[in-house]
A and B are shown apart, each in its own frame.
Chain A
Amino acid sequence: MKAIEAAGVWKYYGDFPALRDISVSVEPGACLALLGRNGAGKTTLLKIVAGLSRAARGRVAIHGAEPRAQAARREIGVLGHAISLYDELSALENLRLFGRIYGLEDPERAASEWLERTGLERVRDGLVREFSRGMRQRLAVARAFLHDPSVLLLDEPFTALDDRAIALLQALLRQAVEQGRTVVISTHQLREALELATHVALLVRGRLAYAGERTAEMLEDTGWLYRHYGEPQSAPPPGARG
């Protein structure tokens, strides 16, 4: 059974087709780098896979279940553009809240463990609104991983992270891939994503321009994919380095 399967997915914002007939499937244990320029449809596709938005046409399944099914949602960990944490609650209260919502047996212990792993144990009772940006991002990473998801959906996870948070996230993602979790990363940070990815998908103006294994060629020249499958006569995005 595929970890993620999208077949003929269309999504419109008004009359504008943000996604056009996207069909892509991800086997369990794969790490897919979802690439594309701003407005290509990466976030829209991730939101549909995460069950946060509905496709106008087409079908999406997580381990064979519809994304809004509770069984599917229990298996998904989402890290979006924003941290999705409550400013007026403490770090511990935030993680404990999501631990309870995800039905963890011991939310307190899980929260404490993740605070320790993310280096936030010292400020566990501090309110999130008093945290620095890097601390908030690390806490967001802890929230996404807290319930031990088998499918991780990460939308621009490296954006606005400090060095420490980037190192932490990369280590966690490497570990997740090694443990056979399915990871989908949407990003402009090609180097970081391609180093982790086993597979690559490129979206161009809502269409799937490329999907396949990540090759050594892509890693050596991160602009290669955009030059061969991106829009004609377009330079690689600023994040691309040779």
Chain B
Amino acid sequence: MAVPALRGAPVRTPARRPRLSFVRQVLTVASKDLRSELRTKEALNSSLAFALVILLLFSFAFEPTEAQTREISGGLLWLVFAFAGALILNRSFARELANDCLDALIAAPMSGAALFLGKALANFALLLAVELVCLPVFGVFYNVHWTGRLPSLLVVIVLGTWGVTVVGTIFSALTVNLRLRELMLPMLVYPILIPCLLAAVQLTSPLVMGQPLTPELMIWLRLLVVFDVIFTALAVALVETVMVR
């Protein structure tokens, strides 16, 4: 049934408006998320406290002077990062539930990819901040000289953290309306993160012991890069479908 226009009403034609560039959209969302988080510190405080407690408890379980401990320290470190990351990632889209803010963002003329990348960028910055606080604590508790290969270690941490973030952020969008999202997110994300975490652990263990990355280890670095590229592309392609149902 057609609803005719009110007779005589001055019909308003849609105005052309300048578009916000994709990069500015991404940065707008990222800065909004960071500003919100820095005001409440909900995810940051819980994630940091959790990471430090785990590091402390693990240090009681292992004898820090033993060489074996140092060999598995990379694994311990990434276990802590992955658990701490889940707390940050869970809040990413859950933050939008209050007052139905997600609806306003979805209705806005912004691509799903920009929204996703903005959120991923904010999560990446938050998780990286937690990790950078954890590293010195880790060095003290486990008696490892993590500063010996710092540039290489930072590259591995950045690549591994982006992998965790990108997968976690897309699943955060997928699980945001679930009642058990705090449980569902880690259950869905960790199996997918296995290649990323495996590569990060393989690369981190020698680096925190002050050893260089040998040519044999470079395959893990390539795996980490490929994982990041594939899952970033997949997430960007799927985010619109995930958000609008």
A residues sitting closer than 8 Å to B (CB atoms) are: 2, 23-32, 50-54, 63, 68, 70-71, 73-76, 78, 80-89, 93, 97-98, 100-105, 127, 143, 147-148, 150, 177-181, 198-199, 201, 208, 211-213
A residues less than 8 Å from B65 (CB atoms): none
B residues less than 8 Å from A73 (CB atoms): 107-109
Could you pull out 9 A-B pairs where Cβ atoms are within 8 angstroms? A27-B11, A52-B107, A54-B245, A71-B109, A74-B14, A84-B100, A143-B104, A148-B15, A180-B11
CB-nearest residue of chain A to B18: A103
- Say which residue of B20, B39, B107 sits within 8 Å of A88 (CB atoms): B39
Asked if B24 CB lies within 8 Å of chain A CBs, one says yes
- Say which residue of A27, A32, A71, A100 sits within 8 Å of B28 (CB atoms): A100
- Which of the listed residues A101, A102, A103, A213 has the most CB atoms from chain B within 10 Å of its own CB? A101
Asked if B25 CB lies within 8 Å of chain A CBs, one says yes
- A74→B17 contact, CB < 8 A: yes
CB-nearest residue of chain B to A199: B3
Asked if B40 CB lies within 8 Å of chain A CBs, one says yes
Q: Looking at the assembled complex, report how far the CB atom of A89 sits from the nearest CB atom of chain B, in whole angstroms.
A: 7
CB-nearest residue of chain B to A211: B1
Q: Looking at the assembled complex, report how far the CB atom of A146 sits from the nearest CB atom of chain B, in whole angstroms.
A: 11
- A70→B19 contact, CB < 8 A: yes
Q: Looking at the assembled complex, report how far the CB atom of B4 sits from the nearest CB atom of chain A, in whole angstroms.
A: 6
**A213 with B103, Cβ < 8 A, contacts A53-B245, A70-B19 known:** no
A73 to B13, CA, bound (A): 15
Q: Nearest 10 A-B pairs (CB), nearest first?
A: A27-B5, A84-B104, A82-B100, A180-B12, A211-B1, A29-B9, A103-B20, A73-B109, A198-B6, A74-B109
A94 to B105, CA, bound (A): 12
Q: Looking at the assembled complex, report how far the CB atom of B5 sits from the nearest CB atom of chain A, in whole angstroms.
A: 3
A residues less than 8 Å from B158 (CB atoms): none
A interface majority secondary structure: loop
- A51→B106 contact, CB < 8 A: yes
Total A-B pairs, Cβ < 8 A:
152
B residues sitting closer than 8 Å to A (CB atoms) are: 1-6, 9-15, 17-20, 24-25, 28, 32, 35-36, 39-40, 98-101, 103-111, 240, 244-245
- Which of the listed residues A71, A100, A208, A212 has the most CB atoms from chain B within 10 Å of its own CB? A100
Q: Looking at the assembled complex, report how far the CB atom of B176 sits from the nearest CB atom of chain A, in whole angstroms.
A: 14
- B109→A85 contact, CB < 8 A: no
A70 to B240, CA, bound (A): 13
B residues less than 8 Å from A208 (CB atoms): 1
A167 to B20, CA, bound (A): 34
Q: Looking at the assembled complex, report how far the CB atom of A203 sits from the nearest CB atom of chain B, in whole angstroms.
A: 12
A74 to B15, CA, bound (A): 9
B residues less than 8 Å from A105 (CB atoms): 18
B residues less than 8 Å from A102 (CB atoms): 17, 20, 108-109
- B11→A28 contact, CB < 8 A: yes
- B28→A75 contact, CB < 8 A: no
CB-nearest residue of chain B to A22: B1
- Which of the listed residues A86, A93, A147, A177 has the most CB atoms from chain B within 10 Å of its own CB? A86
- B20→A52 contact, CB < 8 A: no
A104 to B99, CA, bound (A): 23
- B12→A30 contact, CB < 8 A: no
CB-nearest residue of chain A to B110: A101
